[in-house]
Amino acid sequence: MTRGATLLELLLVLAIMSLLALLAYPRIEAQRDRLAVEHQASAIVAAHREARMAALTWNRRAELIIHPDSLAVQTIAGPDTQVVWVRPGPSTDQVTITGSSLPIEFAPNGLSMAFSNRRYVLSKGSVSRQVVTSRPGRIKVLP
């Protein structure tokens, strides 16, 4: 009496596992897209908070610059600007972003200045989220 599996049995198990993996792939890919979009929305929220805190901490005007390849915060004192915070942008996760390319400005008291109402749409695959900022400095992530 011999123990073990035959080549035919191993090929059958491999074929079944391949079919199961093929059926699960679209769900796994959709989940990866959702996680990437949510991660980048959280990164924009963090950058918004960092810009507000930079304005308060440095007692200067601060700008949040949102580009597909980077998120940056800089402080402004007269003609001088100083970059105080830089992180990779949404394109690092292959997430596309649409919205205003103008910076969001914060006064030294931490409140947004001028026309700081912005709406950014982050998307990847079939998943999208909106990040909305308002003039008083509130920020929301919408489905």
Rounded CA separation 2/64 (Å)? 71
Q: Is the pLDDT of residue 1 over 70?
A: no
* Residue of higher predicted confidence among 67 and 24: 67
- 32-46: per-residue pLDDT in tens? 999 999 999 999 999
CATH code for the part of the protein at 49-143: 3.55.40.10
Q: Is the pLDDT of residue 137 over 80?
A: no
- 68-94: per-residue pLDDT in tens? 999 999 999 888 999 999 999 999 999
Average pLDDT over residues 92-113: 91
Rounded CA separation 48/3 (Å)? 64
Under 8 Å between Cβ of 111 and 61: no
Q: Is the pLDDT of residue 64 over 90?
A: yes
Q: What is the dihedral of CA 81, 73, 93, 40, to 10 degrees?
A: -160
Task: List Cβ neighbours of 24 (8 Å cut-off, separation of 6 or more).
Answer: none
